[in-house]
Chains A and B, each alone.
Chain A
Amino acid sequence: NAGVTQTPKFQVLKTGQSMTLQCAQDMNHEYMSWYRQDPGMGLRLIHYSVGAGITDQGEVPNGYNVSRSTTEDFPLRLLSAAPSQTSVYFCASSSQMNTGERDYGYTFGSGTRLTVV
């Protein structure tokens, strides 16, 4: 049981390049989400998904796309990287999203540190 797996762990991009951050979970969680963490600002929600085929925008969605074709995977795409997207990105998942009790909180991946130059 690997939990939430993110790849790559580190990435350097040039401005204008595109890339996909991968996120996979093996816990059969319905809910998955992407956050970015910047110094002094906590984590901010980018996009989330409540199940395969369903995605929605979070607090800071601009410049990012997502899709959810399977329960396990939730990739985050940067279409044209900008220096403002330099950040640490975390993927998270949880279960029983719409049925009340979620006593264990969210499970976070180990993060991807992205630098855009």
Chain B
Amino acid sequence: ELKVEQNPLFLSMQEGKNYTIYCNYSTTSDRLYWYRQDPGKSLESLFVLLSNGAVKQEGRLMASLDTKARLSTLHITAAVHDLSATYFCAVEYNNNDMRFGAGTRLTVKP
């Protein structure tokens, strides 16, 4: 059974600091996604990672994938308040089934 574990589940950061969110999964997958969700809103696609060693960056966020370790990371650089949201990783396997982690609720404080 595919399991997707994120940690931490809650993260409170000071503005300007760096931190990393981890996503571990249990079974070989086709691709891995990172999504952002603001309170009461829908999900916004941030990154799609397709292969081992893939690294993608957008602004202060950088995502990486290690398929051998079954680990993806979302690194936050010099956090700002606008990054406060819940971040989900999701792992797709069998080309149809996408399983989500429980989410990391990030709060960036001034």
Contact = CB atoms under 8 A, between A and B. Distances in A.
Interface of A: 31, 33, 35, 40-45, 48, 50, 56, 58-59, 90, 92, 97-98, 101-111
B97 A41 contact: no
Given A42-B101, A104-B48, A106-B33, A90 B95 contact: no
Interface residues of B, number: 25
Contacts of A41: 102
Nearest to A110: B42
A110 B102 contact: no
B35 A58 contact: no
Nearest to B1: A59
A105 B100 contact: no
Given A97-B95, A105-B33, A105-B48, A110 B101 contact: no
B29 to A, nearest CB: 13
Interface majority SS (helix, strand, loop, mixed), chain B? strand
Nearest first, the 7 A-B pairs at minimum CB distance are A105-B45, A42-B100, A43-B100, A108-B43, A108-B42, A42-B102, A110-B42
Given A59-B99, A106-B98, A42 B88 contact: yes
Given A42-B88, A97-B95, A110 B41 contact: yes
7 contacts: A41-B102, A42-B88, A42-B102, A48-B96, A98-B95, A104-B48, A105-B45
Contacts of B33: 105-106
Interface string B16-49: 0000000000000001010100000111111110
Contacts of A35: 100
Nearest to A98: B95
Nearest to B103: A42
